[in-house]
Structure formats: C-alpha cells, structure tokens
C-alpha cells in the first residue's frame, strides 16, 4: 500500500503523475495549485476543508485552490483518462479505485 513506499519513492511516483497530467492545466500557476491541492489531500491534514488544505500547502488563504476547483479551465475527463493509463506505464504496480466520487490510489507491493 502507499505506506509501504519510502518517502523518496512516493515523491518520485507522485511527481511522475503530476508531469503526466500537468499539460491539462494550461498555465504554470494552475499546475502548481493542482500539485499543492493533491499533496494537501494526501497529506496528514485533520479536516480536508479549504482553509486547512491551503494552510498545509503553504498558502495564506484558500482562494487559489478554490479558483482551481471552481473557475479554472481544465477537463476532468481528460485528467481521468491520463491517470487511467498510468498503471500500465508505472515503475511499480498501481491500482486506482473509485470510491464515492473520488479516486483512491494504491501502490501494490510485489509479493
């Protein structure tokens, strides 16, 4: 599972995912916000609300993350399609699971 990966390997795999989907976010500031948002969602944030996610990501307010979610132009279907091709090209076996409208990611340990 995710916890089985050393921090450096986890960070490398996550950066590979960001590179894979980054082109779907037209501007560099949107790509940075997307990266910050995903890292905050996966991080040890007690309550996943806008203020706490922004604080964890190092933002002064949640405005930038909220603009990413509510006003930025990006195609969620294309991002999903890019992510679905990732397990076939990943350096480790990966499993994506959809659960209640959100995606869960699990790196599977070889047996």
68 and 80: one domain?
A: no
61 and 80: one domain?
A: no
On whether the CB atoms of residues 57 and 73 are closer than 8 A, the answer is no
20 and 32: one domain?
A: no
On whether the CB atoms of residues 107 and 4 are closer than 8 A, the answer is yes
30 and 69: one domain?
A: yes
pLDDT band at 59 (very low <50, low <70, confident <90, very high): very high
Q: What is the mean pLDDT of residues 70-96?
A: 74
Q: What is the mean pLDDT of the chain?
A: 78
Range of the domain at 18: 1-24+75-111
pLDDT band at 89 (very low <50, low <70, confident <90, very high): low
Number of domains in the chain: 2
88 and 68: one domain?
A: no
Q: Which of 76, 69, 32 is nearest to 50 (CA)?
A: 69
69 and 80: one domain?
A: no
């Amino acid at each position: 599972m995710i916890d089985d990966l050393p921090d450096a390997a986890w960070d490398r795999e996550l950066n590979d995912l960001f590179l894979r989907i980054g082109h779907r976010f037209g501007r560099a500031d949107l790509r940075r916000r997307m990266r910050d948002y995903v890292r905050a969602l996966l991080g040890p944030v007690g309550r996943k609300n806008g203020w706490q996610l922004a604080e964890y990501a190092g933002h002064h307010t949640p405005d930038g993350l909220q603009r990413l979610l509510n006003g930025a132009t990006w195609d969620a279907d294309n991002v999903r399609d890019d992510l679905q091709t990732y397990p076939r090209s990943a350096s480790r076996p990966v499993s994506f699971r959809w659960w209640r409208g959100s995606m869960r990611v699990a790196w599977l340990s070889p047996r």
